Amino acid sequence: RALPTSAGALRQRLRQCAERIPEAEAVLDLLEKCPEHQKKGSFPVIVFEGLDATGKTTVTQAVKDNLNGILLRSPPACISQWRTVFDDERTPIKRAFYAAGNYILASEIAKASTQAPVIIDRYWHSTAAYAIATETSGEVQDLPPAQDEVYQWPEDLLKPDLVLLLTVDPEERVRRLQHRGLEKTKEEAELEANSLFRQRVEESYRRMVNPACQEVDASPSKEEVLKTVLQLIKKHCAF
């Protein structure tokens, strides 16, 4: 399978291509500086997941402001300048890059969660869901079965307290994509063109376990969605 599910496995993958791709060496250098088995601080760590244009950027910013939190994202800023290099690489290398981003992000989460609530725009569930959906074709029935290990959280990666999956109906999502009008990644283009791919990504999110995603209908107004999300955070996270 293309997705490495431990820090050791993804380091090995990046090492294999580091001679040819200098950016892989740079990612490895950053990984070396991250202690293994990061632990979170006493503040809650809340992740927002979902397909492109479901409203993650909008809601994470609003939640951050509301809770006086710290906003982080995957891939983290320190490696995002190399993203286009890896997006053009073969699938196993590209997936190793996104996986590495999560382990580097875990170091940032560990530190930030000692200071304030941490709000995250995409984390492991996105890395896994896009990888799983890309590796299969056809209908959701063709995905690995629900209990498969691909849906498990990596044992050595810091876990969040709450993962909220934002969903909107396909027509509203396309309206939001068009309204935004930014440059598309390959995955975004595929999501628009291929409704089966979109369904596979969303179903993969739903099958993730330990922690599982809690689904939020993000179709209402920005204010309504924020209200729902803040209620869920209050219910599930102790401050």
Where does this chain bind ligand LXEULUCI (CB under 6 A)? 52, 74-75, 98, 122, 126-127, 130, 185, 187-188
* 74: partner contacted, choices ligand LXEULUCI, ligand ATP, none (Cβ within 5-8 A by kind): ligand LXEULUCI
Closer of 41 and 174 to ligand LXEULUCI (Cβ): 174
Token duo for residue 214: 């809690």
Using CB under 6 A as the binding rule, whether residue 171 contacts ligand ATP is answered as no
For residue 75, how far is the Cα from the chain centroid? 8
Indicate the DSSP class of residue 213.
Answer: P
- Phi first, then psi: give them for residue 185, nearest 5 degrees: -80, 170
Contact pick of 19, 147, 221, 238 for ligand ATP (by CB under 6 A)? 221
Closer of 87 and 115 to ligand LXEULUCI (Cβ): 87
* 55: partner contacted, choices ligand ATP, ligand LXEULUCI, none (Cβ within 5-8 A by kind): ligand ATP
Using CB under 6 A as the binding rule, whether residue 202 contacts ligand ATP is answered as no
* 221: partner contacted, choices ligand LXEULUCI, ligand ATP, none (Cβ within 5-8 A by kind): ligand ATP
- CA end-to-end span of the chain, whole Å? 39
Using CB under 6 A as the binding rule, whether residue 227 contacts ligand ATP is answered as no
Residue 228 C-beta: closest distance to ligand ATP, Å: 10
Compute the Cα dihedral for 151, 238, 41, 59 and give only its sign.
Answer: positive
CA distance 72 to 75: 9
**Number of residues near ligand ATP (by CB under 6 A):** 15
- Three-state DSSP state, 200: helix
* 206: partner contacted, choices ligand LXEULUCI, ligand ATP, none (Cβ within 5-8 A by kind): none
CA distance 228 to 206: 19
Angle among Cα 83, 189, 62 to the nearest 5 degrees reads: 70
Angle between helical axes of 195-207 and 124-135 (0-180°, round to 10): 130
